[in-house]
Structure 1
């Protein structure tokens, strides 16, 4: 037996309530992804227009309903173009939430390794960042995890060199031709330098946020890579992970966050860790 409730001119049953709740949850998740960017204002504006369209259609104003239908049909295509970065990020989050590539069964059948089995050493990275910060030398490092970074690698100078503290310091030294842009580290190799990264368009960032920090945040929004930005003015170290920027980190804090993100997130906790 379906119980219907009449509210003004609408007949509402439990299926409609469930539908409304699911749509509200979906809209909240979309807004959570695009908040802080210019696209969030477009999203809110389009949502208000659509709610106005539903109200007009329910009342029965045929002419205004027809006009709004044409506007919404064209607006849907415009939204896909405007929100292409946010749509990609949304699908990336869904892909990450499944954890399929990190499962033992998936790696057994397809021969992939988890982040805990990565061969990227942290010691030369941490030592290099410490030297750059102490000398107030700006730097931008990207450490790959699972997502491919080849298009960013191709934008810079290919190196494919052994990762070491001296290499990192020399790349970002004052007279190095490779100091502008980012150095990308993949599987323990220094793949490229002077690479171009996408800058974050997050409106919530302080106006004092420099280009290095915006680029570090941008690559962390577009991929699952970790990015380290070292300020040339203050010598402070910042880390961008999953679209979040952690600033004023000490060497110990940087090591802990990198260790947890790159190596421990996919590794089952030991019994003593659980207890």
Structure 2
């Protein structure tokens, strides 16, 4: 083994440098995932408890060391339970970014995207326009690659073609299906009145209600695009990968949905250009 240098009795090799670099990247990614959420406080609490354990063990406090040692013994299992949402999100990020996924499933993805020719996004935009004007609350989940069966099972199955009248009927305040989300997959409304996970991000605006937090939470947990319409103000919020956009024009929202369905999103999803609205304006009834 080739050593780079020595620090006292410690010999540092290339493997050690690579090891430290990989651990640093891993810790940074974990920090990005839990930043701004309640998981940060839990992580700091576990870290403080571990430091206390090291101190009492070094001080040879046998009884306290034995008690804290029991907690440390099940520490890995406890962290898996406590950080289950963050671990799931981390694995989802890895799954999205791997070269393996891009190459191996390219054929499958192309096959899945054939449904875009039968999906009239104009029906959704017209429904959103009416919902916004009437200040009717709504929550729509657009899924490109997965059926979201787990979330669909929390609501009522429909399997109906997407159209303006049906969406307005679902989100009508007197409808038994209005309280929840609709899941749109392969150009069809798979289910309505679905329950979505609520984001625990502490940095969300204080005026975000449960509907908007559910939109952000769903985008954090799954590879979906979520549109929320505020019941109080009629404001539109678009959520993706835990990020959200507000104050968008209808044509810009239409373009964002099309980019997602066609898998042609830009690297900086939060960046919105005026030409997106102009491009959509030229084709008001674009098929998705």
TM-score normalized by structure 1? 0.83
Q: Which residue of 2 aligns with 1:178?
A: 177
Whether the 8 Å contact between 2:140 and 2:183 is mirrored in structure 1 is: yes
Over 3 Å counting, the alpha-carbon distance change for 1:37 and 1:225 in structure 2 is: same
Q: How does 1:65-214 map to 2 (within 5 A)?
A: 70-98=70-98, 100-103=100-103, 106-108=105-107, 111-113=108-110, 116-119=113-116, 120-214=119-213
Note if 1:41 corresponds to 2:8. no
- What CA RMSD, in Å, does the superposition of the two structures yield over aligned residues? 2.8
C-alpha displacement of 1:83? 0.6
**Alpha-carbon distance in 1 for matches of 2:249, 2:120:** 18
Over 3 Å counting, the alpha-carbon distance change for 1:74 and 1:226 in structure 2 is: same
Unaligned runs of 5+ in 2: 267-288
Structure 2 SS opposite 1:25: helix
Deviations along 1:210-264, one digit per CA (max 9) or x if unpaired, are: 1111111111111111111000111111111111111222102211221222214
Unaligned runs of 5+ in 1: 268-275
Deviates more, 1:209-218 or 1:13-22: 13-22
Deviations along 1:169-204, one digit per CA (max 9) or x if unpaired, are: 111112211111011111011111111111111111
Q: Which residue of 2 aligns with 1:6?
A: 7
Q: Which residue of 2 aligns with 1:226?
A: 225
C-alpha displacement of 1:51? 6.4
Total equivalences in the alignment: 260
Whether the 8 Å contact between 1:173 and 1:179 is mirrored in structure 2 is: yes
Over 3 Å counting, the alpha-carbon distance change for 1:48 and 1:23 in structure 2 is: farther
Deviates more, 1:116-125 or 1:29-38: 116-125
Deviates more, 1:86-95 or 1:20-29: 20-29
TM-score normalized by structure 2? 0.79
**Alpha-carbon distance in 2 for matches of 1:53, 1:12:** 28
C-alpha displacement of 1:134? 0.9
Deviations along 1:27-62, one digit per CA (max 9) or x if unpaired, are: 1111101111111222233345556777999xx766
**Alpha-carbon distance in 1 for matches of 2:155, 2:74:** 39
